[in-house]
Amino acid sequence: MNTLAFPLSQSEGPETGPSLSSAHRRQIRIHAVSRGWHTGLVVPSEGVGCAIPYLKARFVGATHYEIGWGDRDFYQAKKATPCLAFQALFASRGSVMHVVPIRDPLPDFLENCKVAETCLTASEYASLVRLISESFARSANGEIIAQARGKYEDSQFFQGRGAYSAFYTCNRWTATALQSAGLDLWPRITLTSGSVIRAVRRYAKACSTASKPEGVEDALELRQPGEDAGPSRT
């Protein structure tokens, strides 16, 4: 079982002090997770569910999502082959998003993964959610586009945006997403899953202490009524 209580910074413990306003409190925990060669993000469902309402309806009861981006054919393949790997790196035919709902206690879900944790402010998390939302392709009606069933029980693939290549992999997507949330990462040099996890552990931000922690929905204004009423399938 992996140890989940990683040091959140090299020199600091939790941020304290009564002068911290709610906008500057780091109270939203996210995790970078590694499954072999692939990395993704584990994020609270509330924020992403506000930006993409279909996910909230599709994965009822989920407290978090594991979300990843990857090559359309390699990522969805039941059996990865050298030919699919070569195609993904040099002749990709598109990308997909993979969403895994998490309903079990989070430590139980994370225990079999390599994990790096960091804490975000509301504005940092809003930036991350925006990048995640923009990574989903949309139909002409603005709906996310469901693809094959996912790799795990009740998970789902969706059509993604962006081109996979040897220079822009799933790990670079993860690093870019974290950079958008304010972490001091260099996506161009975080091309392996190990380099992503090491970088997050090095630059992670400590959580703030507060007498009354806020929920994600209390901190964010991400609801977009009328968008993503449901998926369209190809």
Per-residue model confidence as pLDDT tens digits over 209-230 = 753 445 565 555 554 434 444 5
Higher pLDDT, 232 or 220: 220
Instruction: Report how far residue 84's alpha carbon sits from residue 18's, in angstroms, rounded to the nearest whole number.
Output: 54
Instruction: Report how far residue 232's alpha carbon sits from residue 145's, in angstroms, rounded to the nearest whole number.
Output: 5
Instruction: Report how far residue 18's alpha carbon sits from residue 40's, in angstroms, rounded to the nearest whole number.
Output: 34
Higher pLDDT, 73 or 211: 73
As a whole number, mean pLDDT of residues 14-42 equals: 79
User: So what's the pLDDT on residue 4?
Assistant: 29
Q: Express as a percent the part of the chain with pLDDT over 90.
A: 66
Ramachandran angles phi, psi of 151, nearest 5°: -75, -25
**Which pLDDT tens digit goes with each residue over 89-126?**
998 999 999 999 999 999 999 998 999 999 999 999 99
Higher pLDDT, 39 or 213: 39
Higher pLDDT, 231 or 195: 195
The token pair at 11 is 């020199």
Instruction: Report how far residue 69's alpha carbon sits from residue 79's, in angstroms, rounded to the nearest whole number.
Output: 18
Instruction: Report how far residue 189's alpha carbon sits from residue 194's, in angstroms, rounded to the nearest whole number.
Output: 11
CA terminus-to-terminus distance, the chain: 39
Instruction: Report how far residue 51's alpha carbon sits from residue 224's, in angstroms, rounded to the nearest whole number.
Output: 6
Residue 187's SS3 state is helix
**Which pLDDT tens digit goes with each residue over 169-222?**
999 999 999 999 999 888 877 779 999 999 999 999 999 875 344 556 555 555
